[in-house]
A and B are shown apart, each in its own frame.
Chain A
């Protein structure tokens, strides 16, 4: 086995600032799948791009980055082009960002073949169709004439993989290629990548923030933190017996499905939230009707915790937005604390009353806070509105509450811009709690966070739930997160609830095919891989 990609003491940074990458060394052998794992800002993308000779403008770098003996730090433009076209390909996170939306899939795939490899249009088309076939896309011929918007994210990522494989590269670089996809779609893509890598004997460098995913695909792993490789080795070894503190934290923070530590479901007399026959349809301008939520029914007792799990388009967010009255149901009933929700937008006075019953924390920590308002004031405003406190008293209450969610007094006057994603989500949580609601809806509230931060925020939610006796409605795509926090589970698919019951029961013995597929799609380490059935 020869070294396909060799990176030695690679350092990269901007003059006058601490380096972004510090003496990174890693290698990928022919036919080997290697994972590069790290949280956001760890430098994994920078490292990978260097292998194609892509460096941020104005940066200075030293060391060796060589692909089959070609040093990309010193190579001429000509040689780099050659490298990118023939020997190494890259797949990116967002397939939609990498394809021209006004041209067909066929144009996209055949362009370089015709213009640079001198193939005739017919030859190029034939090769592209064969390649589409190979990546598991049916009706490849028809697909060639379709535009990107007609394809789902998963299909489009397969097209991108086909494009990357067209020139039979020796090295495939994957930059979080499944992060934007649903779990069941991800499972298919991962299987495809593994098969192609094995059958072609390609070397692969797979970037991910997800240790589970790395373990399901790669034999070896490098763990990157703040531009430094902190640990490396066989995936199994690193995963099961991590040597460094940071790796240990990362492994511990990585959510896994565990049903042992769950509280038993609360059984209570009258439910806090009761939903029956709830539906929401939207009418598109062309008259088409879309059913976002179809006949949902469930009950959530006071002090209970319900997880709502589903993939994109399953209707889970619609349900959450109905609960907090950001949407109005088309039909069905929703009763919160024995108050029946009117089927019209709420009046201001009704909304203010409702605010004390239910609050929500959104997914994106960068958009869910007002950019102009210092976080202390943002929380104090809620105290003034709902607890009838004066300016000074509200500020004191805000300080105490922020302290409780882990935001120190020194950050009281900070704007959201100055806070990290995890800190912003803590502030959002504090804002919601300042209204002292009974029910807290978390709409993918931890999905945008790094795993270690996610673990901390989940811990905080758990703590607050126990201390304040909050009832929790947790909307997420991640079964593992739910298994940790929610004793009851509700699985949604295409607008319908396909299964509901105690979390432990559903995870151990799913009664519905879709739930089974969802559980089976979670990445499984190579060392205890059962063949994934779809």
Chain B
């Protein structure tokens, strides 16, 4: 009956296996970065804050694999330690925005009356504010550091999750299986939280994975303009910022490495997210 759909399948399947090879690669990159950051205190060759003024802006060598920065600090060690703050921020933001977004989306999608409409408009309003602008506002209120940007980003990314969850819930609500639960007399909270919510998680999870990459880049950008993590804490965005002087002096490596890692992680996470949403999308349709 579905011949028209089957026609291009052979080509698609080949494409599909290519994609998953890429996803495996992406997963390996992401895992490597996470593990190296997590165990930085054991694995890192040097103290990230150890200043060695006799050895500034050195190129890669046996002693310093990626070289040193303008204060002679080991770049590899700083990268590994910096991964902690750089990855921690997006992790908190993604978890926070996913939980909040799911809950708000469930409420908005389930209530047929004005509650759903008001929440929907609120999401639209939040969409209109760029995440970075929100973060700067929060920093103005709460001061520099990790807390304000994380709070602002969490709020800024809630509508991405909530809008998706809302539309999914609206679709699920009309399905016969949900109506059957109602007729069977199950309470609404049980149906919504126990039955409908788990059916949304794969799709929402894919969206949140994508969000991780965006948040990572946004937070790095905040650190770069000096509003995020403050020195001497190592952070990828802050590392790029600290290397501005060196960059102007012709030394690109201190800025290049953190930039490369940010790009690698963002791309890897996006590939994984795309793969997840493709697979789930294919399964649902």
Contacts and interface: CB of A to CB of B under 8 A. Distances in A.
Given A46-B3, A362-B179, A431-B180, A57 B10 contact: yes
Contact of B3 (A49, A367, A370): A49
A58 interface: yes
Nearest to A46: B3
B279 to A, nearest CB: 15
Nearest to A382: B184
Report the contact-size class of chain B (Cβ under 8 Å from the partner): 20 to 34
Given A367-B176, A428-B180, A58 B9 contact: yes
Given A359-B183, A359-B184, A368 B3 contact: no
A380 to B, nearest CB: 12
Contacts, number: 81
A57 B8 contact: yes
A385 B183 contact: no
Contacts of B184: 355, 359, 382, 385-386, 431-432, 435
Contacts of B199: 370-372
B42 interface: no
B153 to A, nearest CB: 31
Contacts of B128: none
Contacts of B185: 348, 351-356, 385-386, 435
B177 A45 contact: no
B177 A367 contact: yes
Contacts of A364: 176
A37 interface: no
A418 interface: no
User: A56, A352, A354: which has the most chain B beta carbons within 10 Å?
Assistant: A56
A309 interface: no
B20 to A, nearest CB: 19
Interface string B1-34: 1010011111100000000000000000000000
Contacts of A359: 183-184
A372 B198 CA distance: 8
Contacts of B180: 360, 362, 368-369, 428, 431-432
A159 interface: no
A373 interface: yes
B117 interface: no
User: A351, A354, A358: which has the most chain B beta carbons within 10 Å?
Assistant: A351
Contacts of A372: 195, 198-199
A45 B3 contact: yes
A339 interface: no
Contact of B195 (A325, A348, A370): A370
Interface residues of A, number: 40
Contacts of B11: 57
B187 interface: yes
A324 interface: yes
Given A359-B183, A428-B180, A58 B10 contact: yes
A409 interface: no
Contacts of B9: 56-58
Contacts of B195: 370, 372-373
Nearest to B10: A58
A386 B185 CA distance: 9
A371 B178 CA distance: 11
A326 interface: yes
Interface in B150-180: 175-177, 179-180
B171 to A, nearest CB: 11
Interface in A74-102: none
Contacts of A368: 176-177, 180
Contacts of B183: 324-326, 351, 355, 358-360
Contacts of B182: 326, 351
Nearest to A57: B7
B147 interface: no
Interface string A364-388: 1001111111000000011001100
A54 interface: yes
A364 B183 CA distance: 16
Contact of B175 (A49, A326, A367): A367
Nearest to B189: A348
Nearest to B178: A370
B186 interface: yes
Given A46-B3, A428-B180, A385 B186 contact: yes
Contacts of B8: 57
Contacts of A57: 6-11
A45 B10 CA distance: 21
Contacts of A355: 183-185
Contacts of A435: 184-185
Given A351-B185, A372-B199, A373-B195, A56 B176 contact: no
Nearest to A352: B185
A527 to B, nearest CB: 31
Given A348-B188, A359-B184, A326 B10 contact: no
Given A352-B185, A367-B176, A372-B199, 15 more contacts: A45-B3, A46-B3, A56-B7, A57-B6, A58-B9, A351-B182, A351-B185, A352-B187, A355-B183, A367-B175, A368-B177, A369-B177, A370-B181, A372-B195, A385-B186
Identify the 8 closest CB pairs spanning chains A and B, nearest first: A355-B185, A352-B185, A368-B176, A58-B10, A362-B176, A57-B7, A56-B6, A370-B177
